[in-house]
Structure 1
């Protein structure tokens, strides 16, 4: 059991860090101390640091093989991560009153919702895709637990946010119905903005592919 201590501690640290935004009093105190921008930056750094620790701790945990690795398994995250980058870049920092990660939510147009026509929670969908795709080539117990928990955490987050938003937004149902009636394909609010997001998605994919080995010690391309 002691061999698993760091892994368990990292998991507890991860959930403790992500519990901060769910506690209004604690969040308000930190925002008062650091300012809203300072809190956002500090919390982002903390989240990435704890995530990195957890991933590295999983690699140092005792090896318990649940299924053997096969070369074809690497193609799953290779393909899924391209979709991850696309969904993330098309969904983040755009009007989205249904979930977190939105920007200028008051300007959301249900007639031209973009990616929100397909999913209310693009960031959580991208995280679930990342987790379950990485589960396939990682058949060791520690990694299997890690990616399964992350995937389920993202899916559960969608339901929890829906429940909270329905309480906070009296117009939630009408706005959702209007969004569903929008065409599946429609002109974007800005063609230039769309092209920029696509360019960022491509560069993000390339950057993640090249940074994976030096940062995490695992080289996806061999």
Structure 2
């Protein structure tokens, strides 16, 4: 469990600089340059992610069951995860109604993904992993909305075409992950598919 916690601290710590130290981040980028900042940010993030994957794998070898979630929660998690994939796609597809309305759909997608997995899973490692991501997403969304208000950020209006592209890309990615990749990479078939 220690490796998982260290990985979460490194990964989410790097992703929390804008939440807790926006001024320091801005000053560091101005002093060092954007490319060195992005390079260091990427290396730290990859290290943290690798430790999360390794630590979660280690923790799953000796699971600590906390409760038994109802089967219905797995179905609810599938719905939340579908929406999370659509929100993730909406973060990158230009001029869609989802981003125009929600402003930060990727962070909201992380919230849904983490919350859904907390409902559907019941082991200590799950609580640590998904709970940490849920807490980060809540704080990140709040900070992003505050930055938007402070800077007067205006988002491009959405179009039907952009929205449909985001929904289709998100749904196709979700289906690939739910029916094949989740089982192949994580060893759990969320929809019973193998």
Count of residues in Structure 1 that have an aligned counterpart in Structure 2: 185
Map 1:21-36 onto structure 2 (within 5 A).
23-24=24-25, 29=32, 31-33=34-36
For the Cα contact (< 8 Å) 1:18–1:47, is it kept in 2? no
CA deviation string 1:76-97 (max 9, x = no partner) = 22121111122222233436xx
Q: Which of 1 and 2 has higher RCO (CA within 8 Å, sep 6+)?
A: 2
1:86 aligns with 2:86: yes
Query: Who is 1:197 aligned against?
Result: 166
Map 1:173-184 onto structure 2 (within 5 A).
none
Instruction: Tell me the CA shift for residue 143 of structure 1.
Output: 1.0
Instruction: Tell me the CA shift for residue 188 of structure 1.
Output: 4.7
Among 8, 13, 17, the alignment partner of 2:5 is 8
Distance in 2 between residues matched to 1:137 and 1:218, nearest whole Å: 12
Whichever structure has more helix as a proportion of its residues is 2
TM-score of the two chains, using structure 2 as the length reference? 0.73
Distance in 2 between residues matched to 1:143 and 1:115, nearest whole Å: 29
Where 2:11 maps in the other structure, the secondary structure is helix
CA deviation string 1:126-149 (max 9, x = no partner) = 110000000112111221122122
Distance in 2 between residues matched to 1:54 and 1:27, nearest whole Å: 31
Distance in 2 between residues matched to 1:17 and 1:56, nearest whole Å: 22
Instruction: Tell me the CA shift for residue 205 of structure 1.
Output: 0.8
Instruction: Tell me the CA shift for residue 200 of structure 1.
Output: 1.3
TM-score of the two chains, using structure 1 as the length reference? 0.66
Instruction: Tell me the CA shift for residue 114 of structure 1.
Output: 1.5
Map 1:7-156 onto structure 2 (within 5 A).
7-19=4-16, 23-24=24-25, 29=32, 31-33=34-36, 45=46, 48-60=49-61, 62-94=62-94, 114-116=97-99, 118-156=101-139
